[in-house]
Structure 1
Amino acid sequence: MRHLTTTALAGALAWVAAAAEAETALNALFMSQAAYSEADVRAMTEAYMAEHPDVTVNLEFVPYEGLRDKTLLAQGSGGGYDAVLFDVIWPAEYATNNILLDVSDRITPEMESGVLPGAWSTVEYNGARYGMPWILDTKYLFYNRSMLEQAGIEAPPRTWSELSEQAKAIKDAGIVEFPIVWSWAQAEAVICDYTTLLSAFGGKFLDDQGKPAFTTDGGLQALEYMVQTLEEGISNPNSVEYLEEDVRRVFSNGEAAFALNWTYMYNLANAGDDSAVKGQVGVAPAPGVDGVSELSAMNGSMGLGVTATSQHPDEAWDFVAYITSQPIQNDYAELSLPIWSSSYEDPAVTEGREELIAAASKALAVMYPRPTTPAYNELSTLLQVAIQEALLGVSSPADALANAAASSGL
């Protein structure tokens, strides 16, 4: 009897060992702010694991500012992540340095035809695709309806000059001290705001030869506008220290009439438990410039890809395909709009977000890209410093941008 018990125990242990060996553990890296909430990503992942009991997905969340560094550090140490979130500005660098797998041959016909055509640019470089687009986003102009009404303003601004005029009227009426709030900290956030303005003023980052073109015309005018709003006292001076969540907090507290921010702020400011402006939030495409543009938008989208060092690329791709799928995106459309064309015909996606959908239909069609170059991170860092110097009055906008161009090596 004892012999049989020992044999049974040995068999059970062997089964457990085999099961453990058969189970796949994936490590996935996400960001901890904007777009989908951490709770949403965890819920998506739990649903995936419920359908795939042989796969465990370990999630790690870091601030956006640490996302690229974490990915590169893990790659340098021989791996660690199987699936990673990446910004639209990184495919060139990631492809050049073999950070992500080329998944072009894994894109199904259903994906090809179902995803909005413009969304694919989020994950492409040199004709190859390095993941699935996941967060389709740009910065919108949010405004406080009540404040505009108090100032006798009937509609949100159509141009950036109108925004300044409306902000002055609101300030002069004593409604709020600093009507506009921005995310102008020395980080990628300020580049996103600058890109929006550069696109409105008809500027370029680089010319056809890949040389800096932001030192004149629209690139210079964009920075001059930013500085001017600070000098006129219509932009919150603390904007030079703010990231997007700071902007959301200030706007949601009723301390600003206007804010430039991502899609996720719409629901949180209009209906969030901690918002003091519930039901007062309007949203529109970012303004344009008379004679140059009708509106402005920058590409702030993000993708999900499989790392080149993953030991489980098939399972990692299956996970990526699952959480970027249309049913999942439709279920979690509250904070981030889907990448799928037909989602916008689904009442579950559009109901209660008609104004946001209307703004998105215009803005997403004209999203302006940040430079596509393997050296993007270095160029962005130089521009962040230059913009900060101009905003703080250390340098003139012209001198600050000229110094950045000279230091870029382009």
Structure 2
Amino acid sequence: MRRALSAATLVTALCLLSGGCTSVNDDAPKAGAGSADTTPVTITFWHAFTDDREVSAVNAVLAQFHAKYPYITVKSVKGQTDDKINQAIRGGTAPDVAASFNAANVGGWCSSGAFQDLTPDLTADHVDLSRIPKAVQAYTAFGGKRCTMPWLADTFGLYYNRKLFTAAGISAPPKTMTELAADAVKLTTYNTDGSIRTAGFMPWFGGYEMLTEHLVPSWGGKWLKPDGSSDTATDPAFAQALTWQKNLVDAMGADKLRKFTAGMAPEQSAQMAFENGTLAMMVDGEWRTAFIKGDKSTVDYGTAPMPVADNKPELYGSGFVGGNVMGIPRGSKHPDAAWKLVEFLTTDTTAVVTLADAVGNVPTTLPALHSPELQLSKDPKFAPFLEVFGNPLTSSAPASADGGAYLTNFGPFAQKWQDGKVPDLQAGLAAIDQQNDATLKLGQ
């Protein structure tokens, strides 16, 4: 499940990068593959899952690991945030293995040495990285160092309410952004006081998973140039995506959308707007299929790839992918055993398939994606996310030296834009590039 990057996490990441918050021990043991030592050992594994169903699934896969390596006992600790991980690294109390929902920190962890470079281990164990799609490889390494491995993926697509589609005379999900906007307006209904009763689509930034990074892939947008500098002003995708978004917000009524969004139940609630039938379409991750089932929602829905810009038909079927990452923090007391756990959880096909099926996330290796044992592939509502994940044009938010601040910086600007407080879009994007480049430079 995707989580937003907090300001505290960003500050901590930059502290780790600059070395100004604490020193790191260059003599700390490094991870190593191929160890024949089978002395019983207990390692600590921190992860961010908290839902009972998901935690049970993680524990089941850890039991598979213990069956393969009976001399390694894993102490699993749930609900651990990136802030806690960073604090433990600085304080010399890091776990042996840490997993995160937020790949935005990978650039900082790799460049600072906060997480150990796994390249020697991957080489020693002959791990074939071509089994991982390039978009996923992009957010799990930085600066020539692969300090994390992907541990399931979040893949985004379009959810749509079939009952509302039928009532509105719409026979199929939209494939272009023009069709999406037209369907959104057609599906939106209003109360007698003019407020929105049912929103045809959620175009409001901050409304559930409606984020710029989930929108610009429909125009083929790239956040960073090849040299690592910010690219929101020179890449036309950003201006085009924002213009489309603002036009739809205005068509549906900005004040009405603001009020509707403020009144929506939380995203993790069983009463969230799509599940209760008051939101006809939305962009969301594959995990929603499991939540809808777990919440016993009666919504009649379908899923599809996100629509794409009218002049970019070749992009249809692709989308945005992010996801969980895991690695070995600096200070791990048992790096050999820690590497065995990382390798098992992220590359063992049975382990990846088992966890993906249990928590409803996309598996991050191609063998797992195409495994006949993957039950998710047999679910027609989930299958589109697997197809998006495997599409070679699918993109991600690349790792950066600033810990993903280029995304964090864009959020307030997007809010000002939809509030009508950005008189010159191109000038505003240029200013964001300057802000991003300054933060990127600080992180180097």
**What runs of 5+ residues in structure 1 fail to find an aligned partner?**
1-21
Offset at residue 83 of structure 1 (A): 1.2
Separation of aligned partners in 2, 1:111 and 1:291: 36
Counterpart in the other structure of 2:165? 148
Counterpart in the other structure of 2:198? 177
Give the direction of change, closer, same or farther, for the CA distance of 1:111–1:157 in structure 2 (3 Å limit). Answer: same
**Relative contact order, CA 8 A, sep 6+: which one is greater?**
2
Judge conservation of contact 2:216–2:237 (CA < 8 Å) in 1. Answer: yes
User: Is residue 405 of structure 1 aligned with residue 433 of structure 2?
Assistant: yes
Give the direction of change, closer, same or farther, for the CA distance of 1:186–1:401 in structure 2 (3 Å limit). Answer: farther
User: Is residue 356 of structure 1 aligned with residue 382 of structure 2?
Assistant: yes
Give a deviation string over 1:216-271, Cα, whole Å, max 9, x none. 522122223333333222795354798753698321222211111111112332x3
Judge conservation of contact 1:223–1:397 (CA < 8 Å) in 2. Answer: no
Offset at residue 57 of structure 1 (A): 2.8
User: Is residue 227 of structure 1 aligned with residue 242 of structure 2?
Assistant: no
Counterpart in the other structure of 2:344? 322
Offset at residue 141 of structure 1 (A): 0.8
Q: Say which is worse superposed, 319-328 or 160-169, in terms of deviation.
A: 319-328
Give a deviation string over 1:133-155, Cα, whole Å, max 9, x none. 21123211111112111111111
Counterpart in the other structure of 1:44? 61
Counterpart in the other structure of 1:74? 88
Judge conservation of contact 1:181–1:250 (CA < 8 Å) in 2. Answer: no
Q: Which runs of 4+ in 1 moved over 6 A?
A: 240-243
Give 3-state SS (helix, strand or coil) of 2:104's partner: coil
Counterpart in the other structure of 2:274? 251
Give 3-state SS (helix, strand or coil) of 1:85's partner: strand
Counterpart in the other structure of 2:214? 196
Offset at residue 329 of structure 1 (A): 2.0
Give a deviation string over 1:160-207, Cα, whole Å, max 9, x none. 2211111111125989521223684399x66xx312322222433234
Offset at residue 156 of structure 1 (A): 0.2
Give the direction of change, closer, same or farther, for the CA distance of 1:291–1:255 in structure 2 (3 Å limit). Answer: same
Offset at residue 23 of structure 1 (A): 5.0
User: Is residue 368 of structure 1 aligned with residue 395 of structure 2?
Assistant: yes
1:11-410 paired onto structure 2 within 5 Å: 24-32=41-49, 37-49=54-66, 52-62=69-79, 67-86=81-100, 87-107=102-122, 108-109=125-126, 111-112=128-129, 114-116=131-133, 118-172=135-189, 177-181=198-202, 184-185=205-206, 193-215=211-233, 217-233=236-252, 236-237=257-258, 239=261, 245=268, 249-269=272-292, 271-277=293-299, 280-293=300-313, 294-295=315-316, 296-324=318-346, 325-334=348-357, 335-343=360-368, 344-350=370-376, 352-365=378-391, 366-396=393-423, 398=425, 400-408=428-436, 409=438
Give 3-state SS (helix, strand or coil) of 1:287's partner: coil
Judge conservation of contact 2:139–2:396 (CA < 8 Å) in 1. Answer: no
Separation of aligned partners in 2, 1:61 and 1:400: 41
Judge conservation of contact 1:183–1:243 (CA < 8 Å) in 2. Answer: no
Q: Say which is worse superposed, 338-347 or 202-211, in terms of deviation.
A: 202-211
TM-score of the pair, normalised by structure 2: 0.74
- Count, aligned residues: 379
Separation of aligned partners in 2, 1:165 and 1:292: 18
Judge conservation of contact 2:319–2:389 (CA < 8 Å) in 1. Answer: yes
Give a deviation string over 1:326-361, Cα, whole Å, max 9, x none. 112222333012223233241543453245324432
Offset at residue 298 of structure 1 (A): 1.9
Amino acid at match of 1:360: L
Percent of aligned positions that are identical: 21
Give the direction of change, closer, same or farther, for the CA distance of 1:347–1:377 in structure 2 (3 Å limit). Answer: closer
Amino acid at match of 1:227: K
Amino acid at match of 1:314: D
Judge conservation of contact 2:155–2:320 (CA < 8 Å) in 1. Answer: yes
Q: Say which is worse superposed, 306-315 or 295-304, in terms of deviation.
A: 295-304
Judge conservation of contact 2:266–2:272 (CA < 8 Å) in 1. Answer: no
**What runs of 5+ residues in structure 2 fail to find an aligned partner?**
1-38
Higher fraction of helix = 1
Offset at residue 394 of structure 1 (A): 4.0
TM-score of the pair, normalised by structure 1: 0.80
Give 3-state SS (helix, strand or coil) of 2:85's partner: helix
Amino acid at match of 2:344: Y
Amino acid at match of 1:383: F
Offset at residue 104 of structure 1 (A): 1.6
Separation of aligned partners in 1, 2:282 and 2:338: 37
Give a deviation string over 1:53-103, Cα, whole Å, max 9, x none. 54443333338xxx3322221111113222112433333211111011111
Judge conservation of contact 1:390–1:397 (CA < 8 Å) in 2. Answer: no
Give the direction of change, closer, same or farther, for the CA distance of 1:106–1:316 in structure 2 (3 Å limit). Answer: same
Judge conservation of contact 2:223–2:231 (CA < 8 Å) in 1. Answer: yes
Amino acid at match of 1:252: E
Separation of aligned partners in 2, 1:117 and 1:209: 18
Which structure has the greater CA radius of gyration?
1
